[in-house]
Structure 1
Amino acid sequence: MLALPFAVTALGDGVGDPVIVLPGGPCRGPEYLGDFAGVGDVRPLIVLHPRGTPRSGGLSRGWWADASDVILLADALGLSSFDVIAHSAGTRLALATAAQFTSRVGSMALITPPASWLSGTPSDAESIAEDWATAEAREALAAMTTDDPATESEFRVAFRRQAPASYARWTAVEQAHATIGAVSLASAEAWFIDIPPDATDRIRATSHPRALVVAGSRDLLTGVKPVADYASLLGASYTLIEDCGHYPWIEQPETFRHRLASWLTGPE
């Protein structure tokens, strides 16, 4: 592979063209993806470490401009058209790539995407939490509206404090997962710089490639209704995974793997 201005990681021994994976965070170290529930055994996965993550260094140029990095990676892989799997904040990068390089993105799987910014639908996280949330999840949800970190150390503390809102449960498994993947205030802030004022309109107006949107029924970070409306706006297939938060490959790995395998092996 040609020298690239960012790191990449390969996952799985699947067959066929590789799929480019865009992690979330924003700019969280992609180690939190783990083995991605073995999806790489269906098709090989190439995980892009965005600028601003530990192995790539530097800072993001903003998620709109960083779309050119996705194209650099596809070119290095020899892919004229490619499939993308993006998680959380990485879904913005996927949409920016599809909007600016319309002939290059063959299909997208968008996993637990933040959605209100695109769909305009207010979050329903509070009503979701009323039905099931643990004490830890309720405290985390409240912290999401009050935390305003100003330093790197405060940002890391806030990230950990808010973590229980990301999961349907808060057992040792989820607690361990929440510690994986470094986060940075400077990197997260840089992710949102220099975004064109018409970026949202341009994404909405794009002729979108084949897409799958996966939501968690207990995802307090995104809510449920905003994600369903986001999928409708994109003309995407939509899957709601029950008893699941923001990380379906951790919480419902078999369901997640089956759904992604179906999507990766052919049009729906």
Structure 2
Amino acid sequence: MSLADLPFTVSPLGTATGDPAIVLPGGPCRGVEYLADLAGLGDDRALVVLHPRGTPTTGGLSRGWWTDADDVVLLADALGLDRVDLVGHSAGTRLALATAARYPDRVRSLALITPPASWLTGTASDAEALLADAEPEVRAGYRALTDDDAETAKAFREQFLRQAPASYAHWTARESGHARVGRMDRDAAHAWFRDIPADAAGRVLGADLPPALVIGGDRDLLTGVAPVRAYADVLGAGLTMLADCGHYPWIEQPDAFRASLRAWLRR
């Protein structure tokens, strides 16, 4: 199958050439432009972004992140790659782990950026402890995370923007501008979690996983810190915890993020 025949959209990121790593965005199913240029990482290593089913540029709905691992393998085949390096952000880290667990012979390495972690380890979030010196807007965003589920597309978007400050260590014009990039759809986001095996965490932890690097933020209220540390530990992964950083390290700490991930992908 050629790239043109794939049932989803893909796009290159950066100017580097050679065998690409595959980038799996989060959201879930958020418009991939929120990735920006990943702090210029694509100028060091060729990157191809998979636009999962449900993203605005691919359309449709996800079949659930466990099943959508098939799409990662389809893309690898279209690229002519026997084994691939996967770079997943947030919800995309679930897709990366599903691919590695279901297709262990196809994944060479994993880079897992600000992963939701409690689902894998059961470790309770310590996000409340991170609020002590948080800015008022960040605190308000965190409290909004417990709002009832929005019932319409318009309400979903409004709710996302109310919650957005909790995604960052600080809330300035830079973070506010980034929060508005990349459209998300309520139905697509919900579909991402459908038909997930009840023992998905057990299947991941029981799999022969490739080498992995976890990158977290020490002020990420969406993941907490303790769950991310436990997640890296059970995966046997390296851990880089970026200081003064929330959920989007290429926006908040671009130099440290690029240095860490560049070294991993070059090894």
Indicate yes or no: 2:184 matched with 1:186: no
One-letter identity of the residue aligned with 2:209: H
Q: What residue number does 2:49 align with? A: 47
CA deviations 1:91-116 (Å, max 9, x no partner) are 00000000000100000000000000
In the alignment, is residue 73 of structure 1 matched against residue 75 of structure 2? yes
SS at match of 1:245: coil
TM-score when scaled to structure 1? 0.97
Report the CA distance between 1:13 and its aligned residue: 1.8
Equivalent pair of 1:19/1:45 in contact (CA under 8 Å) = yes
User: What's the offset of the Cα at 1:197?
Assistant: 1.5
Give 1:128's aligned residue: 130
Deviation at 1:161, TM superposition (A): 0.3
Moved over 2 A (4+): none
Are 1:137 and 2:142 matched, yes or no? no
Aligned residues: 265
How far, CA to CA, are the matches of 1:151 and 1:13 in structure 2? Answer: 39
Cα distance between partner residues in 2 of 1:61 and 1:264: 29
Do the aligned partners of 1:147 and 1:158 also contact (CA within 8 Å) in 2? no
- Deviation at residue 146 of structure 1 after TM alignment: 2.3
Could you tell which deviates more after superposition, 8-17 or 43-52? 8-17
Partner SS, residue 146 of structure 1: coil
Structure 1 stretch displaced more, 10-19 or 217-226? 10-19
1:145 is paired with a residue whose SS is coil
Alignment partner, residue 89 of structure 2 = 87
2:222 aligned residue: 221
- 1:179-200 Cα offsets, whole Å, 9 max, x none, are 0000011001100001111211
* 1:104-119 equivalences in 2 (<5 Å): 104-119=106-121
For residues 1-268 of structure 1, the aligned pairs below 5 Å read 1-2=2-3, 3-130=5-132, 132-266=133-267
Q: Deviations over 1:119-148 (max 9, x none)?
A: 110000000111x21111111111101232
TM-score by structure 2 length?
0.98
Secondary structure of the structure 2 residue equivalent to 1:222? coil
- Counterpart of 2:111, as a letter, is A
Deviations 1:26-70 (A, max 9, x none): 000110000110111111110000000111010000000000000
Contact 1:208 1:235 in 2 (8 A): no
Deviation at 1:153, TM superposition (A): 1.2
Cα distance in 1, alignment partners of residues 52 and 237 from structure 2: 25
CA distance in 1: counterparts of 2:68 and 2:135, whole angstroms? 37
- CA RMSD between the two structures: 0.8
Distance 2:142 2:148 in 1: 10
Separation in 2, partners of 1:107, 1:129: 34
Contact 1:28 1:182 in 2 (8 A): yes
Q: Identity over the aligned pairs, expressed in percent?
A: 62
